[in-house]
Each structure stands twice: as C-alpha cells, then as structure tokens.
Amino acid sequence: MTGTAVLLAQAQQGNIAATARLLSIVENDEFPVAEVIRATHAKTGHAKVIGITGPPGADKSSLVSSLVAAYRATYPRVAVMAVDPSSPFTGGAILGDRIRMRERFLDEGVFIRSMANRGNSGGLARATRRVVNVLDALGFDIILVETVGVGQKEVEVVRVVDTVCLVTIPGAGDDIQAIKSGIVEIADVLVVNKADRPGADHAVKDFRKC
C-alpha cells in the first residue's frame, strides 16, 4: 500500500490527522498531489455542497455553526471549508470569527478546515474546489463552504457548490445595493441574519427588490 493509499484509508475511517494531511497536500500543491486527485476523483459527486457568502460583517460563521448543528441531526458527517483572508505576515489564514464555531470542534462527526485565500479574488482560495472534492470523496454528507466577505464581482463560489446562500444583516442596505448587480444573481437562497434586530423587515424588502 502506498503512503497516499494509507492516508486515504485512514481519512475515510474518520482519522482527523490523515484528513488534514490530505487537504494540506492538495491546498499547498505538494507531492503527491496528483496521486491524491486521481485516487479521489471517481469517488466524488455524493456530498451536498452549500456555499455561504455575503458582505463582510454579515456574521456568516454564526449561521454556519447553526447549520452544522441542524445538519448533524440528520447526517453523520458534516465538513466546513472556511476561506479566510491571508495574514500579511505568515500567509496563513486569519481565523477571525471562526472561534464562534468552537462548540462544534468536539463533535466527532464535524470536520472544520480554514484556508487562506492567499490573495485570490472571487471570495475563495485557488485550491477550494479540489479540497471540496477530497472531502466529498472521503464520505462527508454535507460540505459547507464559507467565503471571505465579498462584493459584487466575487461570484466564484457558484462554480464550486450546489447551492449558494447569500447572507446579510439588518442595517446593511448599502451592502445589498453594492452587491446586488453581481452576486445576488447567483444566489439560490437569500438570508437576513440576526432578524431580531431593528430593520430586518427593511432588509427583506431590499432583497426582494434585487
């Protein structure tokens, strides 16, 4: 058995370290990335892949955390692929509000991965599609892809996921106006997060005008 085959077998059995190593190989384009892609390609196409996108400050991570809890009531394995801005010092992901998903870290049926966008435009990292494919091949039932805060031209997520969920919050009317000529057109689901806040009805009306 090759080293790649061993890693794949371990990852398919739920080994977190093996899963993380495989994703690092793909994300960093390390040897033997070609072997990993070949070994996983035929096993893709089973997971439901959902993109969570929206302007900065829309509190996407809290929504993702709630979705993970809801999906785990039905599905045994859920993955989160969160794309974050790159650190100007290390080049790695700035985890930001990822800490809001800390209650999910102890769930053995949940795998959370942060990936730096490394300056790539479009709201995703260049390797996001390949990482999602590996997670799909490893048997995850649901894969949630959270983008960096985006504007009107960052529509790359539609090429990676099955369903696009666009998120905003009350009081973000200007943000909706700024993005509606682009990303609203690719959204399958429009969400007003934190709807208990004043202005939620107005935000819904803004969405309906898009």
* Low-confidence winner among 24-33, 86-95, 175-184 (lowest mean pLDDT): 86-95
pLDDT digits (tens, 9 = 90+) for 5-56: 899 999 999 899 999 999 999 999 998 999 999 999 999 999 999 999 988 7
The predicted structure's pLDDT at residue 186: 83
pLDDT digits (tens, 9 = 90+) for 109-141: 999 998 877 656 556 878 899 999 999 999 999
Can you tell me the distance from the alpha carbon of 151 to that of 187, in angstroms, rounded to the nearest whole number? 13
The predicted structure's pLDDT at residue 52: 94
122, two tokens: 């479009």
Prediction pTM value: 0.86
The predicted structure's pLDDT at residue 62: 87
Length of the chain: 210
Average pLDDT over residues 152-180: 75
Confidence band (pLDDT; 50, 70, 90) for 170?
confident
- Report the mean per-residue pLDDT for the chain: 82
Which position has the higher pLDDT, 71 or 54?
71
Q: Name all domains of the chain by residue range, CATH numbers in brackets.
A: 45-209 (3.40.50.300)
Residues near 186 by Cβ (< 8 Å), separated by ≥ 6?
155, 157, 158, 164
* SS3 per-residue string spanning 153-174: CCCHHHHCCCEEEEEECCCCHH
